[in-house]
Amino acid sequence: MALEFYAVGTNLAALQALTGTNLVTEPYPTEYHEGENAATSGTSRPVVVGFPWAIWKWDTPITAECLKTFTDLLGANQYASVYIRTRTNNPEADGTYEYLYFSAEMWRPKVEPKPGYRYENVEIEFRRLVEQP
């Protein structure tokens, strides 16, 4: 069985599992894309090109303090270089999914502010994923 958890940090040694932060829940649903189906081969099959990318979403509200876990990594920038651990589309033999480490560009979260210092429909995009050993 795969060890299942999401993590984010400024380097591999500083990765912090989301369940150990102020977040009440891990992101759900999440997406992982191998790249873009932007070209076709001579057999008319799509060919995946470009870097993988991932999106973490929360379908339940999170607090401002939780959101700060991510915005602190960005500072005043629109994106920042981070390291993440995320679910991929590769199934394990037992039916669970593989979680891998990547360097990535984390983009400023998309959020819907709500009264009471809560945010709904939070979505964070990670681009240019490069798998790490």
pTM equals: 0.84
64: which residues sit within 8 A by CB, 6+ positions away? 117, 118, 119
d(CA 29, CA 9): 20
Q: pLDDT at residue 93 above 60? A: yes
For residue 21, the model assigns a pLDDT of 58
3-state class (DSSP) for residue 101 = strand
Would you give the DSSP letter of residue 54?
Answer: E
Mean pLDDT of 103-124: 90
Q: pLDDT at residue 106 above 60? A: yes
pLDDT (tens digit, 9 = 90+) per residue, 36-57?
Answer: 766 666 666 767 778 999 999 9
User: Which runs of consecutive H residues, i.e. helices, occur in 30-132?
Assistant: 64-74
